[in-house]
Amino acid sequence: MKILSEPPIIALTRRTVDPAVCGLSFLAFVLYFQVPWNSYQGILLVAVVLFSWMVSRTLRPLLSFRASGIHSYIFAVLAGSSVFIFLIYSLFLNTQFSEHVQKYVIMIWLVSLPTLLLAAHGFLHFWLKFRLHKTKIRKCVIVGATEVAYRLSKEISEDPSLLMQFDGFFDSRDKDRLWNGCQGKLLGNMDHVLSYVKENAVQVVFVTLPIRNEERITRLLDELRDTTASIYFVPDISNFDLIQSRIDSIHDIPIVSVLESPINHLNAIWKSAFDFIISLIILIIISPAMFLIALVIKLTSPGPVLFNQIRYGLDGKEIRVYKFRTMNVCENGPTIKQATKNDRRIYPFGGFLRKTSLDELPQFFNVLKGDMSIVGPRPHAVAHNEEYRKLIQGYMLRHKVKPGITGWAQVHGLRGETETLEKMEKRVEYDLEYLKNWSLLLDVLIIIRTFGVVLKTTNAH
């Protein structure tokens, strides 16, 4: 829709405001404090622009006053600047930049950055409102009074940045068959479309008729060729359970994505880099604790320290998932019983590991291997996958992304035993919601919330 609405200068400004503010403010602070320029500062400037672009791209869906309100908008800016500050400061402390770039300059700049970004976004908001008042508004109509047509009309009417004035609907059906809310804006039937478009200088026509009305759509398009109006066909795919739907093309053939992984192309690079860097840092920090856990396991229970189990990974391919052994048995066959409260198979220290989720720590090696992600749907045993894929519709869509050490379902309390089908259905529901709304910011929020969840031992057996 943004292709239809935003002039190039507005679209470019929206996408470059954060990198521009971060990069230019960094240069301004360096010049103001008369810091000698060197190659390290040049590299840091490149990192500043790159990181700020990544963060702003992730937060862009939230940066809308219309969609979220001013308070959520401010929160999005502050959350994004916090993530950016964490990335830059981590880079600064863990590299040689700290030896070649003035530390006090970096500190003052980072502390000032949230205020600078809020000021820039406030200025941008008022500038966009001024530009919109100066920009010519295009009239539009919708052919077909359907559910998707009503939703489209609401979006057009409520979003001034689309630069459109919605006049009404055209539909040849009886009024009682039209979608609720469309009757009041009905301009006529299908035979009146051409004359109305010509007489009222309508510039955009949206066609929301069902695809089965091919003959009627073809006749309408032939008639509208006698006008200069832009015509857009809006396929009604609202009845599908959409995951990352979008319109694409293969050369000149348009295609509509209905079920797609959210983590592809550049998104896959960002998430893989995020997983690798964060898991490597975590493994370095927790390595003494892992060594101590391994030692206690070896001294208190006969058997191997690590337990690996075959599970489904990305696209349903089998992977080996590592855990600290918490039971006196190592089940990995076609039938696996989930751990329950007071399960006799769990030895005492194993129970502590499971309640605190410390048994999952070796899975950070799975993340380094590329088999898993830090955040994603939890991998289930193959036996459970084969059982639940027959009982829960859309169950296997969980495997459109890499499985995770923690996930959206787990931070909502759905961890541990799923003794009823309803609990597993709820877990899958949260997993699919994660796929629909994925972003790096969501991953960060889930990681933060996981620390609070781990402190609660509910459902962890």
DSSP string, 38-70: -HHHHHHHHHHHHHHHHHHHHHGGG--HHHHHH
Q: At CA 201, angle to CA 229 and CA 184, rounded to 5?
A: 95
Q: What is the pLDDT of residues 42-96, one digit of tens each?
A: 888 888 888 888 777 766 655 554 545 677 777 778 888 888 888 888 887 777 7
Give me the chain's average pLDDT, please. Answer: 82
pLDDT at 65: 47
* Relative orientation angle of helices 8-32 and 39-59, to the nearest 10 degrees: 140
Residues 413, 279: one domain?
yes
Tokens 């929020």, residue? 445
pLDDT at 289: 93
Range of the domain at 156: 138-239
- In 177-276, DSSP assigns E strands to 186-188, 204-207, 230-233, 246-250, 253-257
- Domain count of the fold of the chain: 3
pLDDT at 2: 44
- Residue 261, number of CB atoms within 10 A of its CB: 19
For residues 224 and 39, what is the distance between their CA atoms, to the nearest angstrom?
60
Residue 440 has pLDDT above 90, yes or no: no
Residue 34 has pLDDT above 80, yes or no: yes
pLDDT-based confidence at 1, cuts 50/70/90?
A: very low
Q: What is the pLDDT of residues 209-264, one digit of tens each?
A: 887 778 888 889 888 988 888 888 887 666 566 666 666 666 666 677 767 778 87
Is residue 307 domain-resident? Answer: yes
Q: Domain boundary residue among 75, 107, 134?
A: 134
Burial of 174 (0-12, 13-18, 19+ CB in 10 A): exposed
Residue 416 has pLDDT above 60, yes or no: yes
Residues 124, 192: one domain?
no
Is residue 256 domain-resident? Answer: no
Q: Domain boundary residue among 134, 149, 170?
A: 134
pLDDT at 340: 53
Residue 203 has pLDDT above 50, yes or no: yes
Is residue 252 domain-resident? Answer: no
CATH, residue 224 = 3.40.50.720
Residues 301, 408: one domain?
yes
Measured between alpha carbons, how far apart are the two ends of the chain, in Å?
A: 48
Is residue 461 domain-resident? Answer: no
Mean pLDDT throughout 176-193?
90
Is residue 407 domain-resident? Answer: yes
Please name every residue paired with 186 in a beta bridge, in sequence order, or none if there are none: 169
Mean pLDDT throughout 398-409?
92
Is residue 322 domain-resident? Answer: yes
Sign of torsion, CA 38 41 42 43? Answer: positive
Residues 129, 169: one domain?
no
Amino acid at residue number 310: I
Is residue 309 domain-resident? Answer: yes
pLDDT at 226: 84
Residues 300, 431: one domain?
yes
Mean pLDDT throughout 408-416?
84
Residues 6, 89: one domain?
yes
Among 142, 140, 158, CA closest to 150 = 142
pLDDT at 233: 86
Residues 154, 118: one domain?
no
Q: Domain boundary residue among 111, 134, 157?
A: 134
Residues 99, 169: one domain?
no
Residue 331 has pLDDT above 50, yes or no: yes
Is residue 400 domain-resident? Answer: yes
Residues 323, 404: one domain?
yes
Residues 229, 364: one domain?
no
Residues 117, 17: one domain?
yes
Mean pLDDT throughout 355-364?
89
Residues 187, 72: one domain?
no
Q: What is the pLDDT of residues 83-141, one digit of tens each?
A: 888 888 888 777 777 777 778 888 898 899 899 988 988 888 777 777 666 667 889 99
